[in-house]
A and B are shown apart, each in its own frame.
Chain A
Amino acid sequence: MRVNFTVNGRQQEADDVWEGESLLYVLRERMGLPGSKNACEQGECGSCTVRLDGVPVCSCLVAAGQVEGRDVVTVEGLADFARQRAQHGGCASGACGDDAGKAGTSLQDAQQWQSKPSDSQTGEGDELSPIQQAFIDAGAVQCGFCTPGLLVAADEMLEHNPSPTDADIREALSGNLCRCTGYEKIMDAVRLAAARQSEAV
C-alpha cells in the first residue's frame, strides 16, 4: 500500500508498504532515516521515539498505515523543529506560518544530517537543537544507541515543562532505556538544557 505523510515538515510518500509494517521500518528502510533506532520492537526501550502529531510515541508500535495524513518528527529533524519552535513561539510544525511549505527538513538533508556541535573556542556550528548540544556538553552520549529517543523525549518534555524537577525528568524519560547506564549524565544534560532555556528567556 501507499502511505502519504509529513516527515520533518515535508510531505513524503512511501510505496509498496507492507500492511503489517511499522512506522519505524518505513522511516529507516524506505526513507533512509536511521536516526530512530530499532532495538526492542516492543515498546520497551524508547529508542525509536518520534513525535506523531506532536506526541512522543514508539514508532515501532505505530502501523505505517496509521500515519496516513499525519505529521511525524524524527531526530533528524529535531534541530530544525526546535529552531522553528523558538522562532514561531511554540509552533514548530510549520502549519501555522505563512511559509509552511518551505519549512522543515528535506529527506535528503535529513539523510545527510550530521551533528555539528558548536565549538566553544570558535563558536562555529549552529545545527544542533539545545537538547542535542546539552547532551554533548554534559557527556551524556556513550554508545549512542538510546540517544535519539532520549533527545526526542527530553525535547518534548522541555517544550511543555521548561523547569522540570528531577522527578519530572525521570518520569518523562522513564520509557527510554540506556544500557550503558549513563543515566546520571543524561539527567545532567536535561538539567543543563533546561537551565540554558530559562537563561535565554
Chain B
Amino acid sequence: MDFLRPASWEEALAAKAEHPTAVPLAGGTDVMVEINFDHRRPEYLLDLNRIGELGEWEVGQDTVRLGASVPYTKIMQNLRAELPGLALASHTVASPQIRNRGGVGGNLGTASPAGDAHPALLAADCEVEVESVRGSRRIPIDAFYTGVKRNALAPDELIRAVHIKKADGPQQYSKVGTRNAMVIAVCAFGLALHPETRTVRTGIGSAAPTPVRAKAAEEFLNAALEEGGFWDNGKIITPSVAKQFADLCSAACNPIDDVRGTASYRRHAVGIMARRTLTWTWESYRGTAASTEGVA
C-alpha cells in the first residue's frame, strides 16, 4: 500500500489520474473501518486532509458551495440558517467524534443508500462539483447515485464541493434508528418546501438501492397545494392530502429486508416520516406567512 499525500488540489488530481484505483481518504470514517477489518486493501490511499480548501465553504447569493471535507460539526454550527435540512441530517450522523471528521464528500463518495446526508441533499437540490485533470463538471444530485454504493464519478475524478441551494422555505429531516446516537439509519426522510417555485422536494434514505426522491408524491403535492391555493392562503394541509402524499412516498420505496428492518417496516416508516415532516414544515411555513402578513 502507498500513502499519497498531495499538498494541493492540483496535486491530488494528478495523483488520482496517475493512480485511478487510489482510494480518497478524508475523515476516514468509512475507509478506515474497512482497512481495520481487512475488508479492503487499496493499492493507494489518497489523503485529502492537507488540502485546506476542501474544508471551507462559501455562502453565495443562491447557493452554498460546501467543500467536500467540511465536517458535519461545522455544518451544524455554521450553516443551520442556509441549509437547515442538511444541518438536521448532520446532527443525526453517528457521534461528535465522527461528526468532527466526516463530511458530505465522503457520504457522496461512498454513496451508500444509508448515508445520512443524501435525503437532505436531494430535498434541497444541489450539484456535485467533481474534477479530474481532464476538467471540471457539475453533476446534478438527481443523476449522481447510479446504484448500490455506486455514483457517477469517473475513476480519475474527485469530489471537490457541493453546490447546495440555500433554503427558501422550511426544511425537515427525520431518521429511524434504534438509538438516538451512533446509529445507521433503518430509513430516513428529508423534505424541503420551496415557496419561491411553489414546489416541494423529498429525499428517501435506506429504503431503495440508492437514495431516491419520491417524485410522484412531489408532483401530487405540488398540484394539490396549487389547486387549493395553499401557498397563498396558508391553510393547514388537508388530512386526505397529507395521507395521499405519505402513501405515495411509501410507494416510492424499493426496500429490502435486512438486519436493521424489514421492507414493509421501512415502507410504513417512510410514510409516517413523510406525513410528519410535511406537517412540521407546513406549520412552519404558515407561521412565517402569518407573521409576514402581520407586518404588512
Q: Are B3 and A1 in contact (CB under 8 A)?
A: yes
Report the stretch among A49-57, A73-81, A116-124, A127-135 that lies at the interface. Answer: A49-57
What per-residue 1/0 map shows which CB atoms of B1-19 lie under 8 Å from chain A? 1110100000000000000
Q: Which residues of A contact B5 (CB under 8 A)?
A: 65, 68
Whether B32 and A174, one on each chain, are in contact in the complex, defined by CB atoms closer than 8 angstroms, is no
> Which residues of B sit under 8 angstroms from A176, Cβ to Cβ?
95
Asked if A41 contacts B45 (CB within 8 A), the reply is no
**CB of A127 to closest CB in B, whole Å:** 26
Give the chain B neighbours of A66 by CB distance below 8 A. Answer: 25, 28, 47, 49
For residue A43, CB closer than 8 A to chain B, the reply is yes
Which of B96-104, B131-139, B214-222, B254-262 forms contacts with chain A?
B96-104
Are A63 and B47 touching (Cβ within 8 A)? yes
| Majority-rule SS of B interface residues | loop
Contact of B33 (CB < 8 Å), options: A1, A43, A68, A172: A43
Residue of B nearest to A18 (CB): B1
- 1/0 contact string of B186-217 vs chain A (CB within 8 Å): 00000000000000000000000000000000
The answer to whether B94 has its CB under 8 Å from any CB of chain A is yes
Q: Could you mark each residue 25-52 of chain B with 1 if its beta carbon is under 8 Å from any beta carbon of chain A, else 0? A: 1011100110111000100010101000
B35 cross-chain contacts in A, Cβ below 8 A: 20, 22, 63
Is the pair A61, B182 in contact by a Cβ cutoff of 8 Å? no
Q: Is the C-beta of B181 less than 8 angstroms from some C-beta in chain A?
A: yes
Interface residues on A, range: 20 to 34
Assess whether B97 is in contact with A58, with CB atoms less than 8 Å apart: yes
Q: A19-B45, A20-B45, A63-B45 are in contact. Are A153 and B96 (CB under 8 A)?
A: yes
Residue B238 at the A interface, CB < 8 A? no
Residues of B in contact (CB 8 Å), total 27
Instruction: Assess whether B37 is in contact with A42, with CB atoms less than 8 Å apart.
Output: yes
A164 adjacent to chain B (CB < 8 Å): no
Name the one of A19, A41, A153 contacting B3, with C-beta atoms under 8 angstroms. A19
Question: Does B180 contact A175, Cβ atoms closer than 8 Å?
Answer: no
| Alpha-carbon separation in the docked complex, A61 to B180 (Å) | 22
Q: How far is the CB of A151 from chain B (nearest CB, A)?
A: 14
Within 8 A of B (CB), among A43-102: 43-44, 46, 49, 55-58, 60-63, 65-66, 68
When C-beta atoms are compared, the residue in chain A nearest to B1 turns out to be: A19
Q: Which residues of B contact A153 (CB under 8 A)?
A: 96-97
* Contact with B36, one of A22, A171, A177 (Cβ below 8 angstroms): A22
Question: In the complex where A19-B45, A20-B45 touch, is A62 in contact with B180 (Cβ < 8 A)?
Answer: no
Q: Are A63 and B25 in contact (CB under 8 A)?
A: yes
Evaluate contact between A22 and B100: CB separation under 8 angstroms: no
Complex CA–CA separation, A65 to B2 (angstroms): 10
Separation in Å of the B69 CB from the closest CB of chain A?
12
Instruction: Knowing A65-B5, A66-B28, A175-B181, say if A49 contacts B47 (CB, 8 Å).
Output: no
A56 nearest CB neighbor, chain B only: B97
Q: How far is the CA of A62 from the CA of B33 in the complex (A)?
A: 10
User: Contact: B1 with A41, CB < 8 Å?
Assistant: no
Q: From B32, B41, B45, name the one whose CB has the most chain A CB atoms within 10 angstroms.
A: B32
* Proximity bits, A147-189, B CB within 8 Å = 1, else 0: 0000001000000000000000001101111000000000000
Residues of B bordering A, CB below 8 Å: 1-3, 5, 25, 27-29, 32-33, 35-37, 41, 45, 47, 49, 94-98, 100-101, 180-182
Residues of A that sit less than 8 Å from B by CB:
1, 18-20, 22, 41-44, 46, 49, 55-58, 60-63, 65-66, 68, 153, 171-172, 174-177
Q: What are 11 A-to-B residue pairs whose CB atoms are below 8 Å? A: A20-B35, A20-B45, A22-B36, A41-B33, A42-B37, A55-B100, A56-B100, A58-B98, A60-B36, A61-B29, A61-B98
